[in-house]
Amino acid sequence: MSSTPPDHYAVLHVSRSATQREIARAYRSLMRTHHPDLDSGEAVPAELERIMQAFAVLRDPGRRRAYDQETARAAADRDIGHSRTIPVRVIPHKDPTLRATPVRWESGPWA
């Protein structure tokens, strides 16, 4: 079973249609707030690593395209797993004749 790739767009707080400039600005902004030299020493190394990894993937057009294809494929696989059909068993009637009954019209405020 393949693991779901991390959402690099969410890490950088940008949309999937973000330009290279928007990605670079988001990265610089996050680095200013999370870098250990600029942040009062309370930066979480794992968070900093996720930011750097997301930028490394999204700044390169080839890697970004491959990442987008991989996430689309993972989403499609996930959707296929959720859209299973429930098997239906058809039970034949014992009496194959069709019987029609008269229509009963009801009266009411809509009539």
* Domains of the chain: residue spans and CATH: 8-82 (1.10.287.110)
pLDDT at residue 14 tops 70: yes
Token output for 86: 């429930």
| 44 phi/psi in degrees, rounded to 5 | -85, 120
DSSP 87-111: P------S----------PPPSTT-
The predicted-structure confidence for 26-62, as pLDDT tens digits, reads as follows 999 988 887 777 655 565 778 888 999 999 999 999 9
Quick check: 54 and 12 in contact, CB under 8 A?
yes
Q: What's the average model confidence in pLDDT over 89-107?
A: 65
* Residue 36 pLDDT: 74
Dihedral of CA atoms 56, 59, 60, 62 in degrees, nearest 10, equals 110
